[in-house]
Structure 1
Amino acid sequence: MLAAVVFVPSAPLLVPELVGPSAFDTEPVRSAVGDALAGAVAIGVDRWVVVGASDDPVTGPVREAGSGSFARFGVDVRVSLSDETGPRMSLSMLVGAWLHEWASLGPASACVVGRESTPDECAGIGAELAARLGESAERIGLLVVGDGSTALTPKAPGGGRRESAVALNDAIVAAIGGADTAALAALRPEPCDAEGVGGRVAWQVAAAAVENCGSAVVAKTGYAGAPFGVGYIVATWTVTGDRA
């Protein structure tokens, strides 16, 4: 059964070895992620599913290796999520695996979604995930890894600040912060791609999973900001029971 959904950024900066001791801008994000994961553990989660987008421009479910390294980001920090074999881990899975180890979470598996999956494909993947969750007596948490727009500040990596990117990111923050599954399902690939949104497919899969589980949730946002021009949100949806 679904117990909680935790949204975190797909940000290598969460890993201290990759940013160095003087990167003070990273601490509020990392602290919020730690608090969110600790809160989910406190309510009782037996098993985790890490949901994130693939690096490769593909669609549908993707199989990747369960272990990998941040070496391509500058430091050979190794992580492991499972004993799966396959192509190298995408960034979302590297981050998810690091958080899994850092927060000492329970057993985990991966749900990697092709980053070019359509909203309908994401809805189908989410429905299948919900069916598996419903068959389990364990309390399961979804760790949903994804970033918002990349053009939120003048020096943002997406080409500087764009008001269209800010507006889209604000809408995403509101949807996640309000557990608005319909708004997340309605995100369109074209504007998300244009504004550098990396989390769309992961968020849409999670939204569909919650919808198909028939679960009522209480949402709490722990962090929403753009310390490096990229939209990061940390939030938790705690399952409170079936919808009336």
Structure 2
Amino acid sequence: MLVAAAVCPCPPLLVPEVAAGAAPEMDAARAACVDALGVLAASRPGLLVVVGPAGRSGRGSHPEGTPGSFRGFGVDVGVRLGGAASDAGAGRVLPASLAVAAWLLERTGWSAAPVGGFGVGESLEPERCAEAGRDLAAREDRVALLVMGDASACRTLKAPGYLDERAAPFDASVARALGSADVPALQALDTALAAELQASGRSSWQVLAGAAEQAGLAGSLLYDDAPYGVGYLVAAWS
């Protein structure tokens, strides 16, 4: 059963070595992520599952110990899911979203529970997302989720997806849903619109919605900004 969830953005820019000179611009987002992970630890989970968007090669389960790195972003920084090396993760590599999550867990010294990863296709249909969430919530008596994903990438002229006037209202609706743990609102997110706005978190948020259907959790929005024209949201459910 789901007992807590943290929702965090997944830009590699959260890692200071990747952000380099721009690192201070993400300080508030990093601090909010740390606070959200504190809520997870306080929930005393028996298992933490990290959920995040993944390309074709990163979809599916990633066991504790699976490695990842930010070498593709120009820095020699490596991570492991859950920190410790393990043969279970041999031959697999974390997608970028789960690598950012692994970095956050290392940054906070996570030791509250075993960790697993689950990569989600950004185009996965809402009902299949919900089914995946229900399955994750049933893995242990007390399951916590760390849910990674960005909102729209179209908030400004310099944003990766250029300016789209629909982006701010879309992000605001997601922020309201995450801040109030509104499961039906997350399940009702427009899949086509999310794709057009390059909102990578849509499928991950709908996995969360499936996991939380019977949990009765309350939500709190900890961060809501778009420093690079991309919506970054942090929320905690408990």
Q: CA deviation at 1:57?
A: 8.8
Tell me which residue corresponds to 1:116: 123
Point out the more displaced range, 185-194 or 85-94: 85-94
Q: Which residue of 1 aligns with 2:106?
A: 101
Whichever residue aligns with residue 109 of structure 1, its letter is G
Q: CA RMSD in A?
A: 1.9
Q: Structure 2 CA distance, aligned partners of 1:116 and 1:86?
A: 25
Q: 1:242 corresponds to which residue?
A: none
C-alpha displacement of 1:208: 0.5
Identity %: 39
Aligned residues: 229
* Contact map agreement 1:57 1:115 (CA 8 A) in 2: no
Residue 143 of structure 2: aligned partner: 140
Return the offset for 1:68: 1.4
With normalisation by structure 2, the TM-score equals 0.89
The answer to whether the 8 A contact 1:57-1:114 is kept is no
Per the TM alignment, residue 56 of structure 1 is displaced from its structure 2 partner at its CA by: 2.9
Cα separation, 2, equivalents of 1:217 and 1:64: 26
Secondary structure of the corresponding residue to residue 163 of structure 1: coil
Distance in structure 1 (CA, Å) of the matches to 2:177 and 2:185: 6
Q: Distance in 1 between matches of 2:215 and 2:22?
A: 42
The answer as to whether partners of 1:64 and 1:86 remain within 8 angstroms in 2 is: no
Please list every run of 5 or more consecutive structure 2 residues that lacks an aligned counterpart in the other structure: 83-87
**Correspondent of 2:136 among 129, 139, 149:** 129
Quote how far apart the aligned CAs of 1:3 are: 2.1
Q: CA deviation at 1:22?
A: 5.0
TM-score of the pair, normalised by structure 1: 0.87
User: For residues 191 and 44 of structure 1, what CA distance do their matches in structure 2 show?
Assistant: 37
- 2: CA distance, partners of 1:108 / 1:130: 14
Is this contact kept in 2: 1:55–1:91, CA < 8 A? no
Is 2:38 the counterpart of 1:38? yes
Task: Kindly provide the CA deviation profile for residues 4-53 of structure 1, in whole angstroms up to 9, marking residues without a partner as x.
Answer: 10000011111111112553211111111112212332343343110111
Name the counterpart of 2:158.
155
SS at match of 1:4: strand
Mapped to 1, the partners of 2:3 and 2:117 lie a distance apart of: 17
